[in-house]
Amino acid sequence: MKIDLTGRVALVTGATGELGRAITRTLAGCGARVAIHYHSAADRAAALQSELPGAGIFQADITSKAAIDRMRDAVKAQLGAPDIIVTNAVIQYQWTKVLEQSPDDYRSQFESCVLQNVLMAQAFLPDMIAKKRGRVIAINTECAMQNTPNQSAYVAGKRGMDGVLRVLAREVGAHGITVNQVAPGWMVSENRPAAGRPDSYREGIPLQRWGTDQDVANAVAFLASDLAGYISGVYLPVCGGNAMPAI
């Protein structure tokens, strides 16, 4: 068995970030034609496109319905309607305690976690329904289970996103569309090395090592493939066992 996405079109939001690049490269390596979404990092989008023959780059504000609809139309015109959407983009902000966190930060997390997934589904799932197949893969976080101090806005956004996606999985399953979430831990990558990070975090991971963005990308590729055709509604931690959903 191998993961073969030949003939599929995959759109990754936030594709120019560290994790986004790993996911995009991996899906392309499995044979998919990739649509590289970016918000403001046009230079990084162009550099990634140059690595991946046949890829397209598309700018959009993922909190705007009009912008997402324009991106949908542009992707369809250039690559065809996506079979796979990966909602990876998120707005960055400064974490602090609930009593000190700005209300604007809660709004930003709602918009980039909950609203992004709603707008992406409304824009792209009608074509999947027409084709009777599709994959929605959202990037969540282990933080949604841990609820540790200073994470409240991020956790609120990701837990809200979880609820929307579980309902969506039930609503579109009959059309051959799966909806799943991948929840990374604190991963390392080329520009985010393990050096300088607290040993206490790594020591608490059952696998006793740092995970990488490639570990997350591998899980996304699996869920995007026919091998995962009977898996839907899943929240899948990719964190070495640091978060363990219970039954």
Q: What is the pLDDT of residue 198?
A: 86
Roughly how many angstroms between the first and final C-alpha of the chain, as a whole number? 30
Q: What is the pLDDT of residue 199?
A: 86
Per-block average pLDDT, block size 10, for the chain (247 residues)? Answer: 95 97 98 98 97 97 98 98 98 97 98 98 98 98 96 98 98 98 92 83 94 97 98 98 94
Annotated domain spans of the chain? 9-238
CATH number of 9-238: 3.40.50.720
Report the side by side order of strands in the sheet with 177-184: 56-59, 33-38, 9-12, 84-87, 134-139, 177-184, 235-238
Distance between CA atoms of residues 133 and 192, nearest Å: 36
Provide CB contacts within 8 A for 244, sequence distance 6+: 237
The pTM for the full model equals 0.96
Judge whether 106 counts as a catalytic residue.
no
Q: What is the pLDDT of residue 103?
A: 98
Distance between CA atoms of residues 230 and 94, nearest Å: 39
Q: Which of 38, 93, 106, 154 is catalytic?
A: 154
Distance between CA atoms of residues 21 and 26, nearest Å: 8
Distance between CA atoms of residues 109 and 132, nearest Å: 32
